[in-house]
Amino acid sequence: MPTVAARQKEVAATPKNPSYVFHMAQEEQDNIRYQVLSDSGALMHFIKRNVACKMAYPANGKGGGKRNHSCFEWTKLGLSTLVPLMIGIFTVVSYIQQQHISEQQRHQDQEVANDIRLQERQIADALRAHSQEQAHALHYQDVYKTYLADVSNALFKENHEGKFLNNESKFSYIRSRTLSVLLELDSKRQTDLFLFLYETRLTTKNQLSLSGALFNQIHFNTSSVVPCIFNDLKLSSVYLSNSSFTGCKFYQATFTASRMTDIKFTGSSLTTNHKTECFRACDMAPYLPKPSCPSHIGIKTDFSDCVMERADFRQAFICLTSFHGATLDYATFLGASIESSRFVNASLNYARFIGATITKSDFAAASLTYADFSGASISHNAFKGVLLAYANFSNVTFDADVMFINANLTNMIIKDDLLQDLNNRGMLRNVILPNGTTFFTQGNLFVNGDAQKDCPSGSSSISDWSTISGDIAVGGNSDNCYFFSTSGTESSMQQAFEVDDFSMLVTSNQALLNISAYFDEQCSRKDVTVMLFFSTTMGLATGPNSIISWVMLESGPNEKTLNSISGTGDLSFTKIIPNKTKFLIVEVKFWNDSRNVLVIILMCVLLLKNVNDVTSHRYSDGHSYKESSSGIFDMIIGLLFVLGPYFCVLDWEIFRRHLNERRYYVDIKSSIFYQECR
């Protein structure tokens, strides 16, 4: 093969034929292309071009044979390098593909191995759990069988091996065995044990105390084969959380002070008519579609003081049932029928009574913040002293005799026309309305304070007063009635008033009481006293510890002390009712030689009216009122009876009589006294 130098000489000696020069340039370009080609397709294209070069050069051209020889050599070179190149490319590609396949295979093998190990572990865990479950079941069953044998022997064998001295020791033994065994049993055996105690009547006769017994997660469901009925069940202070009694019937059951969070009484019946059915259908007596609710026989099912948060009473029939003091926050009474039941002092915050029917039930002093009564039907119910802030009463149907007394209705959701209808029917008394304004309607707290009931003169019986000692009678005529003593010895009479209707204000120290009396001018000595006691009990005979405070109006010379005023004519004393007061007790006492003096108890009234109740100086009774004074409230009350006649065209006697008829209004917040103008 010619060297490069020889080739260059040959090229230089060749005539400069344009056609030849063109072919030489083409050849150089093909050589360059050959050097840069890397894949087989481009190489084949190069070979074809070189083979074609044989026909491109003239046959008789100079140097043509050598050129043909050169093309053949290049072709031979290309063909000789093509095979190893293809083999190399194939080897590299095969290696990469094999690596990829191997990697995928390893991942698949690893996943399969992991799945197998997981399955084996799950099977092993399941077998272990099943084995443990069987072991536990056998243990529970052995414990339960041993318990049944012990208790049965204690109950039914005559003085079981001389172990018990008396019934008290026998039931003490059964109690200790029951409490300890319950800690070792599962839910199913606890349910069986509960049923055993009931069927042996240990939970019905108050013979066996089970306080502290753990019956959590026991479950009963009624069926046509095994009806779930409990008569006279007595279970106080037990644990029944997360338990369920679905569709069961309870007749006179007692669960007082028990902890029953998340318990379910869905579709159950709580009533007293137990004569129509018997447990486990002793003669398969037919069920009543709806048990009767004889309200005259009193409470029969008792949940007093129970903790029943999130309890479920959906579609339940609740009759003659007490939830006194119970915690029922977030409880559900959807669609329930509640009759003649008591929720006194119960906590029912966020409770739901949606679509419930509530009849003749008492919610006194209950907390019903955010409670939902939407769509409920309520009749013959008393909401006295109830906190109903943010409660929902939308679309509620109020039938006859639904009273809201001493209730806080702040932000309660209720239609204005429904609230107005309650007001028109006199169903709102002493309440804080949803918009925050106060609405108080109470007048004179004491009945027959002016002796008007027992006129004409000469009547010896005194209505609504209790004579404590001596003889007291009523004198005068229909325009001027009074009390007087008919004996020369000490005489006294009393009357008590419960402040429940104002407890909301009393407990917050916002109840201001005014008591006034008129003493005849003959009472120049200390002949008569009128004392008002703030007491925790209804009577004065229970001892001095029941008296929280007192004020006194006394006949005689004009004097004033911290708790008393003396003089003749009209006397008045105003005082904030202490927050622990339950009863107001007024006592009128005639001392010795006071047969010829007389006294008229004009009024004892709370000054609770709010200025918001007075619109354009005209109240709903049609009378006009005028602002009589302003300033410091204590000063106004002190000067009330002195300055009153000068602010309206009204003589003192007319003003005095109208006070007893609630012809005045006081705005405590603004210290304004409103007096009727005639």
155 within some domain: no
**Domain boundary residue, one of 408, 439, 470:** 439
Model pLDDT for residues 185-206, shown as the tens digit of each residue? 999 999 999 999 998 888 887 6
Query: Do 630 and 523 fall into the same domain?
Result: no
Model pLDDT for residues 77-113, shown as the tens digit of each residue? 777 777 788 888 888 888 888 888 888 888 988 899 9
**Domain boundary residue, one of 407, 439, 471:** 439
Query: Do 282 and 425 fall into the same domain?
Result: yes
Helix (H) or strand (E) holding 493: strand 491-498
Query: How far apart (Å, rounded) are the C-alpha atoms in residues 343 and 365?
Result: 9
Domain tally, the chain: 4
Query: Do 277 and 309 fall into the same domain?
Result: yes
197 within some domain: no
541 within some domain: yes
The rounded percent of the chain whose pLDDT value lies above 70 is 68
Model pLDDT for residues 582-600, shown as the tens digit of each residue? 899 998 888 865 544 555 5
Query: Do 364 and 300 fall into the same domain?
Result: yes
pLDDT at 656 over 80: no
pLDDT of residue 295: 62
Which domain covers residue 46, as residue numbers? 4-111
Query: Do 293 and 315 fall into the same domain?
Result: yes
134 within some domain: no
Query: How far apart (Å, rounded) are the C-alpha atoms in residues 674 and 296?
Result: 46
479 within some domain: yes
Query: Do 576 and 589 fall into the same domain?
Result: yes
What is each CA distance from 540 to 135, 493, 548, 579, 587, in whole angstroms? 69, 12, 11, 19, 10
What are the backbone angles phi and psi of residue 474, rounded to the nearest 5°?
-115, 135
- C-alpha 427: how far from chain center: 26
pLDDT of residue 576: 86
Candidate ranges 1-5, 245-249, 281-285, 631-635; pick with highest mean pLDDT: 245-249
166 within some domain: no
543 within some domain: yes
b/e per residue, 611-629, with b = 16+ CB within 10 A? bebbeeeebeeeeebeebb
pLDDT at 536 over 80: yes
Please tell me whether residue 140 adopts helix, strand or coil conformation. Answer: helix
**Domain boundary residue, one of 393, 421, 439:** 439
DSSP 255: -
Query: Do 425 and 525 fall into the same domain?
Result: no
CATH code of the domain covering residue 375: 2.160.20.80
Query: Do 391 and 532 fall into the same domain?
Result: no
Query: Do 615 and 655 fall into the same domain?
Result: yes
Do the Cβ atoms of 318 and 300 come closer than 8 Å? Answer: no
The rounded percent of the chain whose pLDDT value lies above 90 is 23
Mean pLDDT of the chain: 75
Query: Do 545 and 425 fall into the same domain?
Result: no
94 against 635, higher pLDDT: 94
Query: Do 595 and 615 fall into the same domain?
Result: no
Helix (H) or strand (E) holding 313: none
Query: Do 535 and 647 fall into the same domain?
Result: no
652 within some domain: yes
Using alpha carbons only, how large is the chain's radius of gyration in Å?
51
